[in-house]
Amino acid sequence: MEETVWCSAANNRLDSFLETLQSHPGLDINWRLEKAGHETPLHIACFKGHWKMVLALLRHPDADINAKNNTGETPLLLACWGGKKGAVKVLLKDARVDSCATDLSGNTPLWWAASNGHVDVIKLMVASGRELDLNRAGKNEKTALERAVEEGKVMVAELLRRYQADPENTRQELRTELGLEGEWGFFCGF
């Protein structure tokens, strides 16, 4: 049954997921598919950007929200790596999510979003008010800003420089720009 839950998360089959959970309340919601890098249903839902599934998983009391797969990636890191804005937004609204968790190479969700040029994801991260480690350099010895510059991600580099120089004003400007006024003021679990 656990594999059914995992496949429902992977294929964004919310009805099947909820039905399986209801009919089998003792299921391990954190079951890991070995052939998929030991990812949980939350990992795969975040990787694919299935934000409604992510929300349903976060509501489960036993969900391991900061679980790491076999390369040390958390659900948030996977969503940031892939530029999955909906999943990132849902995750950042949950106070239990570690916004600075690192993978086995020492890279954060911010680093991966910057490296892949996901400026909209970085805007959400900054607007959220969550802790963002701008100075962390993983094994490659580059910070998120240095990596963005190295990769030619001009908009990302400009945003990170702006945030580094004036975090509060940048955060407030982005909340207004993204229409998130009042929405990010207080973080709590679901």
CA dist 52 → 10, 14, 37, 59 (Å): 12, 8, 23, 11
Tokens representing 122 are 């970085």
Rounded distance, CA 8 to CA 110, Å? Answer: 28
- Residue from 46, 69, 48, 68 nearest 58 by CA: 46
Q: Which domain holds residue 109?
A: 2-177
Tokens representing 31 are 């079951």
Looking up tokens 């969900």 gives 63
- Hey, which residues does 39 pair with through a beta bridge? 33
User: Can you give the pLDDT at residue 183?
Assistant: 65
Q: Kindly state whether residue 190 falls inside one of the protein's structural domains.
A: no
Tokens representing 101 are 């968790």
Q: One-letter amino acid identity for 106?
A: G
User: Can you give the pLDDT at residue 136?
Assistant: 82
Q: What is the pLDDT of residues 157-172, one digit of tens each?
A: 999 999 999 999 999 9
**Are the CB atoms for 47 and 79 separated by under 8 Å?**
yes
CATH number at residue 137: 1.25.40.20
User: Can you give the pLDDT at residue 91?
Assistant: 97
Q: Kindly state whether residue 185 falls inside one of the protein's structural domains.
A: no
Tokens representing 123 are 């805007």
Domain total in the chain: 1
User: Can you give the pLDDT at residue 34?
Assistant: 84
Rounded distance, CA 179 to CA 190, Å? Answer: 21
Q: What is the pLDDT of residues 21-48, one digit of tens each?
A: 999 988 999 998 888 789 999 999 999 9
pLDDT beneath 70, residues of the chain: 182-190
| 33 DSSP assignment | B
Q: Kindly state whether residue 183 falls inside one of the protein's structural domains.
A: no
User: Can you give the pLDDT at residue 186?
Assistant: 41
Q: Kindly state whether residue 86 falls inside one of the protein's structural domains.
A: yes
User: Can you give the pLDDT at residue 33?
Assistant: 85
Q: Kindly state whether residue 154 falls inside one of the protein's structural domains.
A: yes
Dihedral (CA of 136, 134, 100, 117) sign: negative
